[in-house]
Amino acid sequence: MIVYPNCKINLGLHILRKRADGYHDLETVFYPIGLKDILEIIPNHSDETGKEILFTQSGLEIGGDPENNLCVKACHLLKKDFPDLPPVRLHLHKIIPTGAGLGGGSADAAFTLRLLNDLFKLGIDTDTLIEYAAQLGSDCPFFILNTACFAGGRGEKLEKLEPGLKGYQVILVNPGIHIPTGPAFAALHPNLPTKSLKEIILQPVHTWKDELVNDFEKVIFPEHPAIGAIKDQLYRSGCHYASMSGSGSTVFGLYPSGKEIRPDFPAHYYIKNVPA
């Protein structure tokens, strides 16, 4: 069985406070967009290695030990509660850039949970899938719902909403800079915003420029000026709103549908245009 885990952008991101458990309380709007990986899971009856999970990967390179891949961790997580799950062969073709603030790894993990649930008819309801996903990462629960959501807590408290993005297209620009999430959080000074993101997001898109902010830009742009320059260039090219997604390094711009976009970026930059 094959599924297509999509990525997300963050429409605004406020880091409110550091918690006693080491995580941060935040508020953001997760918005799904149509850049997708490819994930296949099949029963592995013929495997002679004795492995419960045989993981292979193609496409963009993923660093680290394959056993630490979130898809593999998702399989082990369900295996603990469903010991009769048969061995599986799992293949991930990676298209979404990693370390880019797009949540690709979180999407792969959440879709693994969903696919195992469907493939083996485990009968896990949505709320319980969200609980499993929260054990894998703060962004993972969103991809169980996979619809526009206001998120609170550390990202697991989700409330469905619909920002007014009908009639817009999204351009993603990634300069190939990997931003580790941990140091990015450590450099931030959390603070409470004067105006709730939930209130701002319901305003017309053309009003977002001066109010809808991603707190990570304050620490990432000085450290990596090339990322801030992308945002400036998108505004010069006529977008209605531009922002870094998550903790970076992808910057997105919202343009009216049908507008011809001619971004002037270095040839090695990753650039993708998708409907909103």
Q: What is the CATH number of the domain that holds 251?
A: 3.30.70.890
Phi-psi region at 215: left, alpha or beta (left = phi > 0; alpha = psi -120 to 50): alpha
Cα distance between residue 130 and residue 66, in whole Å: 24
Last residue of a domain, one of 109, 125, 160: 160
Same domain, 134 and 66: yes
Q: pLDDT tens across 232-275, in order?
A: 999 999 999 999 999 889 999 999 988 888 778 999 999 999 88
172 in the same domain as 156: no
Q: What percent of the chain has pLDDT over 90?
A: 70
Q: Give residue 231's pLDDT.
A: 97
Write the pLDDT tens digit of every residue in 89-137. 999 999 999 888 999 999 999 999 999 999 999 999 999 999 999 999 9
Pairing of strands 157-160, 149-152: antiparallel
Give this prediction's pTM: 0.92
* Rounded-to-integer distance, Cα 249 and Cα 220, Å: 8
Whole-angstrom distance, CA of residue 83 vs CA of residue 93 = 27
pLDDT, one tens digit per residue, over 23-52 is 788 999 999 999 999 999 999 876 666 678
Task: Please confirm whether the linkage preceding 249 is cis (ω < 30° from 0).
Answer: yes
Does residue 62 sit in the same domain as residue 142? yes
The reported pLDDT for the residue numbered 20 is 78
Same domain, 21 and 102: yes
Same domain, 9 and 134: yes
Residue 255 φ then ψ, to 5°: -125, 150
Same domain, 16 and 121: yes
What integer best gives the mean pLDDT of the chain?
91
118 with 190, same domain: the answer is no
pLDDT of residue 82: 97
Domain tally, the chain: 2
Are residues 155 and 215 located together in one domain of the fold? no
**Residues belonging to the active site:** 8, 139
Same domain, 249 and 195: yes
CATH number of the domain to which 44 belongs: 3.30.230.10
Domain-terminating residue out of 106, 138, 160 = 160
Q: Is the pLDDT of residue 182 over 80?
A: no
Q: Using alpha carbons only, what angle is made at residue 184 by residues 182 and 186, rounded to the nearest 5 degrees?
A: 70
Element (H, E) at 55: strand 53-59
Q: Are residues 40 and 144 in the same domain?
A: yes
Answer for the pair 12, 200: CB distance below 8 angstroms, yes or no.
Answer: yes
Same domain, 129 and 185: no
Tell me the average pLDDT across 57-79: 92
- pLDDT higher at 173 or 65: 173
Q: What is the pLDDT of residue 165?
A: 87
223 phi/psi in degrees, rounded to 5: -75, -35
The residue out of 160, 184, 200 marking a domain boundary is 160
Closest to 43 in 3D by CA, of 84, 8, 86, 74? 86
Name the residue range of residue 172's domain.
168-275
Please indicate, yes or no, whether residues 118 and 206 belong to a single structural domain of this protein.
no
Which stretch, 34-48, 137-151, 195-209, has highest mean pLDDT?
Answer: 137-151
User: What does the pLDDT read at residue 181?
Assistant: 76
What is d(CA 7, CA 97) in angstroms, rounded to the nearest whole number? 10
